[in-house]
Amino acid sequence: MKMILRWFPEGNDSVTLEQIRQIPGVSGVAACLIDIPVGDVWPLERLQAMKKEINDAGLEVEVIESVNIHEDIKKGLPTRDQYIENYIKTLENLSKIGIKCLCYNFMPVLDWARSELALPLEDGSYAMAYRHETVLKMNPNNMADVMQSQSLGYALPGWEPERLSVMQKDIEFYQSMSTETYWENMKYFLDAVIPYAEKYDIKMAIHPDDPPWPLYGLPKVISNAENIRKFLSLNDSPYNGLTLCTGSLGADLNNDIPAICREFSSQGRVHFAHIRNIKHLSEKDFNETAHLSECGDLDLFEIVKAFHDTDFNGYIRPDHGRMIWGEKARPGYGLYDRALGANYILGLWEAITKMKEGK
């Protein structure tokens, strides 16, 4: 297992590589080129420069999060083949800098949704939050305005400007698409890309829908164990796998997160894990919290033990942190709370290891 942190290069992050290097047990980062328009090829020269910057700071980069998928691929339009060709070329370029794992998602239009990015919590910290009725009352453009107004000027992954301009039109397109057609479009993408992922030795790791239920009539399919089984069956290659996000799947109270971790990790299909905690106020209302089990609804000991018991040897990162100690940063991606989360998870891992050794 390797513990890493998400980091945004080229001046797009308040957290520095030097700070990340000082977090005990963190060996590297998951990085991206956040300004590349969705569907374009990622230039090798910029990837090489990014890798050099990270390596020069004493860290490694083996994970990319994320290379987003163009909406035409999800829609199944004739233009999808050109965008898939570009995706494959990006995979080739990523392989040339030693990337081993690629986190991506197949969520239509909206990558993720929150009603608030800086909700004050009782302890004085600030966290992202979701209120279902509030989100339903927003139209997507209003939600985009709220997200951007609370982002402190940072670009929000999945809310790129080129998406926002056509968001409502894209949502209307999906109203006439069946869920089965969406699955077929996903399989088309996988069957085209996975052979090249195998060739370039890059594990493809799909991220669950966030939240894991339908919004605005959009299909949401990576949402529970049954649907994950169906997704993995679309292409049996071990390079077709998961980014198992405990917070995204944990938003649905019906999901048994330790059991899901255990099932798919034991199959070798979890390549990347995002570990975080959430606290429900009702069935579809929740706050993001500190990672500590008692702070939320998820039992992080059992989650980490599920990975440990199944000999997980992929990448883990502490997902969204709160803003604590007066920090101002990209929502979810400050330094302090994620550093605490990383070492909490590492502490659990070490304790479980020593329990098994009888120490």
Question: Catalytic residue at 245?
Answer: yes
Q: What is the largest CA-CA distance in the chain?
A: 60
- Cβ contacts of 161 within 8 Å, gap of 6 or more: none
CA count, 13 A, side-chain hemisphere, 120 = 3
Taking the C-alpha atoms of residue 2 and residue 342, their distance in angstroms, rounded to an integer, is: 11
- Cβ contacts of 85 within 8 Å, gap of 6 or more: none
- Cβ contacts of 195 within 8 Å, gap of 6 or more: none
Task: Single out the residue of 287, 277, 14 nearest to residue 127, CA to CA.
Answer: 287
Question: Catalytic residue at 280?
Answer: no
Choice among 70, 207, 271, 291 that is catalytic: 207
- How many CB atoms within 10 Å of residue 343? 18
Q: Helix, strand, or coil here: 258? A: helix
Question: Catalytic residue at 333?
Answer: yes
Question: Catalytic residue at 103?
Answer: no
| Residue 146: Cβ-neighbour burial (10 angstroms; 0-12, 13-18, 19+) | middle
Choice among 245, 261, 315, 344 that is catalytic: 245
Choice among 70, 130, 320, 344 that is catalytic: 320
Choice among 126, 333, 336, 344 that is catalytic: 333
Taking the C-alpha atoms of residue 77 and residue 346, their distance in angstroms, rounded to an integer, is: 44
Question: Catalytic residue at 320?
Answer: yes
Choice among 274, 291, 336, 344 that is catalytic: 274
Question: Catalytic residue at 13?
Answer: no
Catalytic positions are: 207, 245, 274, 319-320, 333
